[in-house]
Structure 1
C-alpha cells in the first residue's frame, strides 16, 4: 500500500502552515538570523516525512522509558502517516518502550488491522487512538501510558489547578473524561465514548484510568505535553499532601502563560533537547 504515490492530504498542508506560523509567533523565536535554533523541517517527499515521523515516534517511546512510564505492555503512542492519513504508526505490542526502534514499529488502519510490521497491535491502543484519529482528521499524534502520578490524580476526577506557570500551560486546554471510567477499553464503543472530548484540547484526564495527550502538530508535541502533564499531576499531589491551600495563578495570567508556553509549537520545541540527547546516546533507535 505504501508504494502508491498519493498527494499529501489538505489537512497536512494546513498543519505545516500552522506550524510555521506558530514558530513566527513564539516569543522564543530568535531575533537574530545567525544563531543556532531548532527549525521545523519541511518535506517534498512523503517517504522522507514518514521516516522523520517514525524516528520521532521511536524517540518518544524511548523518552517514556527514561521517565519510567512503562507498565507491562500498557501504553501506546501513535502518529498519522503523512501520505496515507487513514493509517497510523504505533509501538508494537509487548515491546518495552526502551526497545522500540524504527524496524519494529507497526502501521495500522482505523479498524485495528496491521498493514505493515510483524508485531500485533495493542487492543486498548487501537480502541482509543483509532477512534480519536478517525473522528479528528486534524489530530496527528496521541500518547497514553499508565503512569504513577497521572493515574493517581485521575482517580480524583478533576482538572488540574493552575498552581504554576507549567500547570497554566494546561489551563482551559484539558478535560476530564468520565465516560468508561475505570473500565478497560477493549471494546470499540469505549473509544467512541472518549473521542469527542478531544475537540480543541491537547490533553485529557480519563477518570480512574490516566492521562492522554493529542497533537495537531507532531508526535514530539504530544509526547512532551504528556511528560509535562504527568509532572504537573505529581506537583499538585505533592502540594495537596501538605494540607496547605496553594495560591493559584489568576485566570488572566494563566491564559497568558498558556498562549506563550502551552502551544503545540512550544511542545515541539521542548522535545528538541530530548531528541538530541536520545539521538546521541541511543543510536539503536534507528535500526
Structure 2
C-alpha cells in the first residue's frame, strides 16, 4: 500500500541527551571529521553547479569517522547550493537527529540508513534525480559500455526495476538494497541514480560519470542505428584503470580548484 500522506516526508525526531550522544558530537567535530564534512558540502555544491540536483530532493550521506552508526545528511528544505559543512545534520541509525538541524527528509534517511546498514564497506552514498539518469531510469535497463567512461560501470551497476513511490517506509528500501547488492551504483526505475563508495570523492565522481553515461547511451540509441558496445574483456580493462584508488583524490583536487573559482562558502572554517 502506498502511503499518500505528504506530511510523512518530514522527520523531526531528536535524540535524547546521553553520554553516547555527547561522545558522537565530539567525534563529529574533530579535525578529521571537519575535513570530511567540508568534502561532503563541496560534493553537494558540485552537483548543484552541474545541474544534477532536483530542488530540495536528493541526498548525500557520509558516516562519521570512528562512529559508523552515525552519518551526516542534508537538512530538509535547503537546496544543494546552500549546503555548508556547518549546516549538515548528524543522525543516528534510528533516524534521530543528534545535532545540526531540526528536520531531515525521511526518504533520505530511509534510503541511506538501509544502505549503510547493509554495506559496512560504504561510507558515502549519493542519491539524486539528474535529468539524464532520471530519463534513462524510465527505460528499465542497464547501461551499455559505449565509451571509455561508461566502461567504468560495466558489470558493476544494477537496476531496481520497481518504483513504489516516495520512500517513506523502511519496507520500501528492501528492494533497493537487494538490487544494489555488492555493486557500487544503482539505477532506480522511474526515479534516479545512486552511487556508493568508501569515500566522498569516489561516490561523487561516480555519480557525475554515471549521469554522463546515461546521456551517452540515450544519445547513441536515439540515432536509431545499432549501438556498438565495447567488448566485455576490454570494458573490464578500462574499468580496472578507471577505478584505481588513486584516481578519485587526484581528480577531486582538480574539481575543488574549479569549485573554488566560483564559491568557497561551503567551508565555513576557511
Q: TM-score range by the shorter chain?
A: 0.7 to 0.9
Q: Flag the 1:121–1:46 CA change in 2: closer, same or farther, 3 A.
A: closer
1:70 is aligned to 2:89: no
Please state whether the residue corresponding to 1:72 is helix, strand or coil.
coil
Counterpart of 2:201 in structure 1 is: 220
What is the aligned-residue RMSD (CA, Å)? Answer: 2.0
Distance 2:119 2:245 in 1: 16
1:200 is aligned to 2:182: yes
Counterpart of 1:101 in structure 2 is: 84
Q: Flag the 1:76–1:5 CA change in 2: closer, same or farther, 3 A.
A: closer
Measured after TM superposition, the shift of residue 71 of structure 1 is 1.7
Please state whether the residue corresponding to 1:284 is helix, strand or coil.
coil
Measured after TM superposition, the shift of residue 230 of structure 1 is 0.5
Distance 1:176 1:264 in 2: 25
Measured against aligned partners, the alpha-carbon deviations of 1:186-235 in whole angstroms (never above 9, x if no partner) come to: 1111123212333321100011111000002x011101100110011011
Question: Is the contact made by 1:169 and 1:257 (CA closer than 8 Å) also made in structure 2?
Answer: yes
Distance 2:48 2:149 in 1: 22
Taking structure 1 as the reference length, the TM-score comes to 0.81
Counterpart of 1:247 in structure 2 is: 228
1:116 is aligned to 2:103: no
Partner of residue 111 from structure 2, selected from 110, 128, 133? 128
Distance 2:170 2:34 in 1: 30
Distance 2:111 2:246 in 1: 24
Q: Flag the 1:48–1:81 CA change in 2: closer, same or farther, 3 A.
A: same
Distance 2:115 2:104 in 1: 16
1:149 is aligned to 2:132: yes
Distance 1:73 1:65 in 2: 11
Distance 2:178 2:35 in 1: 29
Measured after TM superposition, the shift of residue 74 of structure 1 is 0.8
Q: How many aligned residue pairs are there?
A: 248
Counterpart of 2:12 in structure 1 is: none
Distance 1:170 1:268 in 2: 19
Measured against aligned partners, the alpha-carbon deviations of 1:96-127 in whole angstroms (never above 9, x if no partner) come to: 11110011110011221111112411111111
Question: Is the contact made by 1:46 and 1:82 (CA closer than 8 Å) also made in structure 2?
Answer: no
Distance 1:265 1:206 in 2: 29
Name structure 1 gaps, 5 residues minimum.
9-44
